[in-house]
Structure 1
Amino acid sequence: MHAIPATLVVGLLAFTLSGCSSLPDRKQVWSRSSDFFSQSAEVLKAQRKRLANFAGSLVGSHDDEVRDSEVEALFAQPYIDPLTRYLEERSVDDRFAAQLARVAAERNRRCDAISATYAQREATGDNLQRMRRGYLYSCPGEVQVFASRVDSGSASVASARTSTAVKASSEEITKTAAESPPATDRPDTELEDALTRREHSDCYLLYTIRNNTQALAACQPLAAAGDAKAQHHMASLALMRNDAATAADWAKRSAAQQYAPGQLVLGQLYQDGRGVPQDPVRAHGLMKSAADRDLAEAAYHTGRIYMNGTGVSADAGLAARYLEQAASSGHIPAYFALADLHAASEPERFRYWMDKAARQGSARAQFLLGESYARGTHGPADNEAAYVWYSLALLNGHDPAKTGIERQQKLLTNSQLATARSRVEDGINGRWY
């Protein structure tokens, strides 16, 4: 994210807090709403863009900028294979969904251009080999189309030659054909492998970017053929349609192959009794198995099971272990669960875990952290810190933080407000103190 000038941060808060009381001797610290509205339309437009960048995740927008820069570097180079490798490496990470959609569109555009180029070329074996060497990895479908043209031309030539061989007996022709099958009858394993890899990649990619209709069509044949990941995707797509019975069928197939996401989905179905009889014991077994395969979401659910004692005896130690496993992957709900787990016995740990969630852009965590510092729960009160976290929560769209900001600003000196304002700007830009 680009740095947001302090005047814009101040103006935004003044606009958002219009109607809240402010102290006359603090005009030098907080701009009034009228100042905000007096800014030019261009400045307001730029501000809205900046706000959109961090809405829902103040620090996530910086990550998006890094990802976008990576994509722009890919687009700046002329080759197709780097785009395909990017898609294959990132296709299971939904944090890259927006970038994956862009890269896929560019990869397809470049493959279409190659197809158009070769459509104008003579369908010869030499041209086919050139196309294979350059584009089989990324554009196997286009290579297959050109190969069909070459095979059709070869078959026509062979047919013409056969028709002129009027003196050859039918027995000799049959014998020759049996001993030397034409090239078109020989399996092209390299092309078949490339097409298969592309089919799998398309299924995973379409699922990740939430193109659900095309993902369903792309994943169904792979799932039917036994691909565990595609089976998981089919289960998830069925759940989106509220078809729990179909979801359970696909999830069972995926889980039977020990595929962790498939185990998680099936475990959740058993936990809720959707598409299968409710069975908390079986749900726990499936989720724990998936967690032990390092699936963060499964570790979170397993920790919650141990925390609440559903289907298994409650165990705070195991709950903390699995929740911390999930938290190590940046799993925000795990931060909240750990904060709740420690709130009574180790209140300072509440702030530790809530702080982690707040710095990852959770508006709710930012608000709760503001409440903790304002009220002195889970540790000493800190009016300045409370003001900072309330402000970030409000900027992140959590309207209840308005009341907290109004209350806290009355408790701070001009100097403290100036420092708090600087900390708010730093937080927006991911420069945490």
Structure 2
Amino acid sequence: MKRLIVALAFLASTMHAALAADAALEAFANGDFPTAKKLWEPLAAKGDPEAENGLGQISMARWMTVAGKFQEPDDNQAVLWFRKAAEQGYAPSELALGNMYLQGRGIPRDMNLAAFWIQKAAEQELPAAEFFYSKLYESGLGVPKDPEKAKYWMDKAKPAIEAAHPGFLASHPNMLRN
């Protein structure tokens, strides 16, 4: 009986966390950052990488609080959240952290660390990371310039990019230059 109670309590807490995560994602997608932040904070405190990533995204944005004041972007805070999730292997945060290093936002610009984190996300088959990794090989930023590797990673990224954004790559031929 005790096992059943423990199992039911675990199931209830897991379902509650999943519902909160879904509600936070919906609030974020609708631009309701205060609600998304409120829902993600307790999940992130428990080490949920999706919630940590969400808080990183919110930290990078300028948004209006419930009190009607603007919350300015905090790139340093974004880096902290992205790093927490990236260190757990969460691909979207690995890409985000790599881009923060690439741009020098909230962290000193470092092409080698940018390539390191973007590679980790690309190896998990995140299409945006595959695209960026291709561009790193094309330009030689953080990795040796290598047209063959650039083409390899672009070819991996293309189907998903075209599926999500039909015609985008065709209308931006400079994006395909390898």
Letter in 2 for 1:193: T
1:289 aligned residue (110, 120, 124): 120
- 1:234 equivalent to 2:55? Answer yes
1:259 aligned residue (77, 87, 90): 90
Partner Cα distance (1:323, 1:339) in 2? 7
2:37 matched to which residue of 1?
216
Letter in 2 for 1:319: A
Q: Report the alpha carbon displacement of residue 337 of structure 1 after superposing the two structures with TM.
A: 4.5
- 1:198 equivalent to 2:19? Answer yes
- 1:271 equivalent to 2:92? Answer no
Task: Give 3-state SS (helix, strand or coil) of 2:58's partner.
Answer: helix
Letter in 2 for 1:325: K
User: Against the structure 1 CA distance between its residues 339 and 262, is the aligned structure 2 distance closer, same or farther, given a 3 Å change threshold?
Assistant: closer
TM superposition outliers: structure 1 runs of 4+ over 6 Å: none
**1:397-422, CA deviations, whole angstroms, 9 ceiling, x for partnerless residues?**
xxxxxxxxxxxxxxxxxxxxxxxxxx
5+ unaligned residues in a row in structure 1: which ranges? Answer: 1-185, 342-433
Q: Report the alpha carbon displacement of residue 315 of structure 1 after superposing the two structures with TM.
A: 0.9
Q: Report the alpha carbon displacement of residue 212 of structure 1 after superposing the two structures with TM.
A: 1.9
Letter in 2 for 1:227: D
Q: Report the alpha carbon displacement of residue 285 of structure 1 after superposing the two structures with TM.
A: 1.0
Q: Report the alpha carbon displacement of residue 281 of structure 1 after superposing the two structures with TM.
A: 0.6
The higher-RCO structure (CA 8 Å, 6+ apart) is 1
- Higher-Rg structure is 1
1:340 matched to which residue of 2?
177
Partner Cα distance (1:224, 1:337) in 2? 42
Task: Give 3-state SS (helix, strand or coil) of 1:328's partner.
Answer: helix
Q: Report the alpha carbon displacement of residue 230 of structure 1 after superposing the two structures with TM.
A: 0.8
Task: Give 3-state SS (helix, strand or coil) of 1:230's partner.
Answer: helix
Q: Report the alpha carbon displacement of residue 338 of structure 1 after superposing the two structures with TM.
A: 5.2
Partner Cα distance (1:339, 1:286) in 2? 22
- Residues 231 and 250 of structure 1 are in contact (CA less than 8 Å); yes or no, is this contact kept in structure 2? yes
**RMSD (CA atoms):** 2.0
Q: Taking structure 2 as the reference length, what is the TM-score of the superposition?
A: 0.79
User: Against the structure 1 CA distance between its residues 248 and 339, is the aligned structure 2 distance closer, same or farther, given a 3 Å change threshold?
Assistant: closer
Partner Cα distance (2:154, 2:33) in 1? 31
Q: How many residues align?
A: 156
Letter in 1 for 2:94: Q
1:367 matched to which residue of 2?
none
2:131 matched to which residue of 1?
300
Q: Taking structure 1 as the reference length, what is the TM-score of the superposition?
A: 0.34
Partner Cα distance (1:259, 1:195) in 2? 21
